[in-house]
Amino acid sequence: MGTILFLIFFPMIIAFVLLAAKSDKARDMIVYISTAIIAGVSIVVAVQYFGAGEKFFPAHTHVVGYLMMAVEIGLAIYIIFTGIKHKKYLASLLAIIQTPLMIWFELGTGHEIESQANMYIDKLSIIMILIIGIIGSLICVYALGYMKDFQHHHAGEKDRRPWFFFVMFLFLGAMVGLVTSNNMIWMYFFWEITSLSSFWLIGYTRTGEAINNSFRALIMNLFGGLGFVIGIIILGNIFGTVELSTMLLYGSVYGDLVAIPAAFFAFAGITKAAQMPFNSWLLGAMVAPTPTSALLHSSTMVKAGVFLIIKLAPVLGINNFAGLMVMMVGGITFLFASCAAISQNNAKRVLAYSTIANLGLIVACGGVGTPEAVWAGIMLIIFHAITKSLLFLCVGTAEHHIGSRMIEDMDGLFVRMPKVAMFMIIGIAGMFLAPFGMLISKWATMTSFVDSGNFILVGIICFGSAVTAFYWLKWMGKLSAVVAGETDIEQSVHKSETFVHMTLAILTVVVCLIFPLISLYALVPYLEGVFGGVTDGLLSSSNMIIMVIMLAVLVLLAAMFFGKSKKSEVPIYLSGVNTGDNRTYYGSMQKEVQFTLRNWHMESIFGEHRMNVIGDVLNVAVLVVGIGAVVATLISLLGGVA
């Protein structure tokens, strides 16, 4: 247990150290050393507990609980006064409602409930710790170079990088605490720290837009936090426990009754995972520096939401209202977020909608609640964390050097920034092409949807996946085009950024090569423990081996021909007489016409406003019906008891 506690408290201690570090040299040294330690200890934890199965850690004191309560009160007071200061009264109101409810429960019923195990670790939490410890650490290293450029571009503003890195490391510690908390009160504590940390990171620049977007994120996550509190109160008062493991165990005893608190916990996960109609907070987060986007999208924050829903999967499923609500919200979000991505030219917004869509697919897998669906959902979490962080960081680097994050401005990027372009292509390929892991996971997802009998979800994944291929291919085509007359500007990229890009690109390939081992030694044992050995419907080992062989051949071919191609430049026909620069030609009336490459974004068909309105309306209806069914069942249950 000591190593797990280290991963919670060490990043938080380093956060305060970085808050005091003002010089670049000191900050660089602290971040390099501390991230190496965090990543290393994450691997140690994985090795230490990998063969132990599910392991619980008993608690013998209430002191930690009281300390958490004090921090919760302090955070609530901060939110109340900050909301009033910025005239965001809804944030203050939610804090006034949520925190007193939680304190009332903790000092009342919660105080009488004896938690046998406040913390635990299993195969899924090990996977999450590796994602947080390795991917999160790499993002922090990348941020060193990126934030130097960021500060250079904002030279007239106060240097707030100590605060930025403070929040980044606080985030990492809170996430480890969240994924190892068996006591739902403890999980709620870390849950709220991640919500507040995202609020600080999104509002980092303190512009009007940043402040508005940070409060949007805070308010939506406070709504989820209120759902979390209601779930804890129901779980404690009706079932007499606050432990996640006991709740899952009660699923086989009390049946669909356990779906009542599970629905409220799932609602919290839906808001945290930025599902429609709560996705606008994640889109608004794009105003923050790129490392924030990468951290929120890949290794923390939104992954907390899908992690909780995947954990709840055994008490969800197609046969209860909570499972139906979750799977439909996820499916609808996947389809309409994918469609909205088609109309986007801003690279970060494409990545944002892609993230929302893929999170929707993971949420839907959790809602289906079968071993096959959960297997696919966990695989999606792993592959998405690596490839999406790679893409966000590449876009951030490109933006600082070409002065734009627009895809249409990436003409000739393969010439201007060949390494960055290559890494981006690897990331995009990892998102949708065979034999990379995301496509394999989506295939397993479709198989699980077919087996569940929910043909609405089958249709959704078929159409959504086709749309996904469309917008990724547009971007990949833009990146792979070689445009004449461009010069290489990649020499000015910080070495820390290139190191992180390369590491994530290698991880994208390596994880795909070893994913049969991940499935065999991590996922299958986890599923057998949770579902009682029902793993017959998983993707067959022969199919996985075939995909690995395909990837190995691709890697081998790339290694064989890397740097050996012979290229020659020849005049290009440009629908007229070439002026000689291969970029301009003489058109009609002997006018010079500039050659450009442009994509069709189909704004009139797949405009994000239209897609969001449709998705929001559908999901609001699903949530109203689902939560309504929960409340009706709860009232009926309480009436029967009375």
Least confident of 32-41, 56-65, 208-217, 631-640: 56-65
- Mean of pLDDT values over 545-554: 70
- Mean of pLDDT values over 69-79: 95
pLDDT bin (cut points 50, 70, 90) of residue 299 is: low
- Mean of pLDDT values over 13-36: 94
Cα gap 382→441, rounded to integer Å: 10
* Structural contact between residues 289 and 150, judged by C-beta atoms closer than 8 angstroms: yes
pLDDT at 298: 66
Cα gap 391→279, rounded to integer Å: 20
pLDDT at 566: 61
- Mean of pLDDT values over 233-261: 90
pLDDT at 454: 82
- Give yes or no for residue 293 having a pLDDT over 70: yes
Q: What is the pLDDT of residues 334-374, one digit of tens each?
A: 999 999 999 998 999 999 999 999 999 999 999 998 898 99
Within 136-183, residue ranges assigned H as helices are 136-153, 161-179
Cα gap 618→613, rounded to integer Å: 9
Q: What is the pLDDT of residues 565-579, one digit of tens each?
A: 565 666 666 677 777
CA distances to 172, 263, 323, 384, 512 from 313, rounded to whole Å, are 25, 11, 8, 20, 25
pLDDT at 594: 75
Least confident of 83-97, 356-370, 487-501: 487-501
pLDDT at 45: 95
Confidence (pTM): 0.93
- Mean of pLDDT values over 232-254: 91
pLDDT at 49: 92
- Mean of pLDDT values over 482-498: 80
* Backbone Cα Rg of the chain: 25
Q: What percent of the chain has pLDDT over 90?
A: 53
pLDDT bin (cut points 50, 70, 90) of residue 453 is: confident
- Give yes or no for residue 251 having a pLDDT over 70: yes
What is the full DSSP assignment across 395-461? HHHHHHHHS--BGGG-TTHHHHSHHHHHHHHHHHHHHHSTTSHHHHHHHHHHHHHHHHT-HHHHHHH
- Mean of pLDDT values over 259-277: 95
Q: What percent of the chain has pLDDT over 70?
A: 92
- Mean of pLDDT values over 505-532: 87
- Mean of pLDDT values over 283-310: 84
pLDDT at 29: 96
pLDDT at 433: 78
pLDDT at 567: 59
pLDDT at 313: 93
Ranges of each domain in the chain:
328-561+570-609
> How many residues are given for the chain?
642
- Give yes or no for residue 165 having a pLDDT over 80: yes
N-term to C-term CA, the chain: 43
Least confident of 32-46, 137-151, 433-447, 562-576: 562-576
State the chain's mean pLDDT as an integer. Answer: 88
pLDDT at 543: 61
Cα gap 297→291, rounded to integer Å: 10
What token pair was written down for 49?
């507990």
pLDDT at 536: 56
